[in-house]
Structure 1
Amino acid sequence: MPDLGLEVLLKGQNFVRLLTGLGAALRISLIAVLISILLGILLGVLMTWKHPVVKAILRIYLEIVRIMPQMVLLFLVFFGTTRAFGWDLSGENASIIVFSFWGTAEMSDLVRGALISIPVHQYESSEALGMSKAQTYWYIIIPQTLRRLIPLSINLITRMIKTTSLILMIGVVEILKVAQQIIEANRMSSPNAAFGIYLVVFLLYFLACWPISMFARYLERRWR
């Protein structure tokens, strides 16, 4: 039986520290997700407008987010802007800004895709029935848009949770940072602890994301 070093987690508060680190990652993800949903819906609607300037600005924003790695954005916000502008920005707040910036772009594109996927004849049919624009959106467009949007947005949430592992690079004490601290503190007494601890980290991330992923699959099957 190989020595996985799992006994390290039973020392002191090590396992509790891991859970606390996971809580920090989930807290940052949740705040960023809520901001992304609100701003993403607004920008997604704006992306469907015919105004060329608005469409161009939002397209540039979306392409910047898609091209720029999240780690570069983290370094730019946390290290770059704090020195350039001299403000005091914590690692956690910088992480929320970056993930909200990224999540808003992704969510807005999902909203845009969901809106333009509604056939034009449904707008025309509602007008023929004498429905107002508000009634058309409330009773016809929004319900169909939500059915298309919710499973995709839930998948985005799981991606945001997993990507929070990058925030250790700017010193935020989340689950991977805690794991590194535990491994380093027990390097001499338990040299094989790295495998076991990172395996536990994997399982904790899995337990956090798997129910969300299953919920998305359930909605896809139910609404198919």
Structure 2
Amino acid sequence: MTEAISTAFSVLFMGTNFLRLLSGLWVTIWISAVSVIFSIFLGTLLGIAMTWKNPLIKAVTKIYLEVMRIMPQLVLLFIAYYGLTRSFGISLSGEAASILVFTLWGTAEMGDLVRGTITTLPEHQYESGRALGLTERQIFLYVIAPQAIGRLVPLCMNLITRMVKTTSLIVFVGVIEVVKIGQQIIDANRMTIPTASIAVYAVIFFMYFLVCEVLSILAKYIEKRQKI
């Protein structure tokens, strides 16, 4: 048993296999980071808009949120990568389609987090601001926003972690990321090292765990800094 495991892990040190896995991890991180940046910016704007009392805006944002929540991310990837290309002649790379889909999904989720955070703040926060003679804009900027940001940090980090893990789906639209490279290494050594999948997927698991753990530590650090 020990010898089989040792043989399985030896595949990682053959040629440039481990470096290839690291390059695949970088693709995963890069796509996740770009999607997260867009999602936080657009989701914040969406969340603020969702707090407005305009019935048309409420209806449109609710429909958008429900569609993004109900539709599986894999289906959205297929629609973006295959559907847009064939139906409208739009040329999208796997990376571009992935960023588009995860941004749309992340924006919806982030928007709902922002909306929920703002609407759950006590009403007396607004009343106190008005009593001090602050305008609605000043109340939002100096009273509501700082409190909302403090509550959003752990929720936002949880969303980012989910987005990082879900990027494993981009293998289905031809993106050469860490899971795809892992499959290539396993297929190339299937005959000589049948147990290679044990080592490869264990390393991929550890890579995802490490990225998510760093995000978790960062979230705790930010929360601690806010309490000081």
Q: Verify: 1:174 aligned to 2:171, yes or no.
A: no
Choose which of 120, 126, 130 in structure 2 pairs with 1:127.
Answer: 130
RMSD over equivalenced CA pairs, Å: 1.4
Question: Structure 2: which 5+ runs fail to align?
Answer: none
- For the Cα contact (< 8 Å) 1:114–1:148, is it kept in 2? yes
AA of the residue aligned to 1:174 = E
SS at match of 2:4: coil
CA displacement at 1:214 relative to structure 2: 2.9
CA displacement at 1:145 relative to structure 2: 0.5
- For the Cα contact (< 8 Å) 1:65–1:102, is it kept in 2? yes
What is the match of residue 191 of structure 2? 188
Q: What is the TM-score when the length of structure 2 is the normalising length?
A: 0.94
The 4+ residue runs of structure 1 with deviation greater than 3 A are 217-224
Q: Verify: 1:202 aligned to 2:194, yes or no.
A: no
What is the match of residue 159 of structure 1? 162
AA of the residue aligned to 1:3 = A
Distance in 2 separating the partners of 1:77 and 1:42: 23
Question: Structure 1: which 5+ runs fail to align?
Answer: none
AA of the residue aligned to 2:147 = Q
What is the match of residue 3 of structure 1? 4
Q: Verify: 1:28 aligned to 2:31, yes or no.
A: yes
* Structural mapping, 1:12-23, within 5 Å: 12-23=15-26
Q: Verify: 1:149 aligned to 2:190, yes or no.
A: no
CA displacement at 1:135 relative to structure 2: 2.4
Q: What is the TM-score when the length of structure 1 is the normalising length?
A: 0.96
AA of the residue aligned to 1:123 = Y
What is the match of residue 107 of structure 2? 104
Distance in 1 separating the partners of 2:182 and 2:60: 41
Size of the aligned set, in residue pairs, is 224
- For the Cα contact (< 8 Å) 1:45–1:111, is it kept in 2? yes
Distance in 2 separating the partners of 1:187 and 1:73: 32
What is the match of residue 72 of structure 2? 69
CA displacement at 1:137 relative to structure 2: 1.8
